[in-house]
Amino acid sequence: MSQNTYTVTGMTCGHCVQSVRDEVGRIDGVTAVKVDLPTGAVTVDSARALSDDEVRAAVEEAGYQLTA
């Protein structure tokens, strides 16, 4: 089990949060996604280690940016 927290920019509303949660949740092995809108923190629980590139691609698919 792995847990990582990322910072996502560009989210402004509940729809943004849902979009990020949905896209990141589609990554193979992801078991839970928690998004904190005010801080942009996205905490991802997964059954395997995820690469930053996997998470970045999902966030960008949702229309937002993963900060370095």
DSSP for 12-60, please give it: -SHHHHHHHHHHHHTSTTEEEEEEETTTTEEEEEESS---HHHHHHHHH
Region 5-15 average pLDDT: 97
pLDDT given for residue 66 in this prediction: 96
Helix, strand, or coil (residue 10) = coil
Q: How sure is the predictor about 63, in pLDDT bands with cuts at 50, 70 and 90? A: very high
Region 48-68 average pLDDT: 95
pLDDT at 38 over 90: yes
| Stated pTM of the model | 0.94
pLDDT at 31 over 90: yes
CATH code given to domain 2-66: 3.30.70.100
Region 46-57 average pLDDT: 96
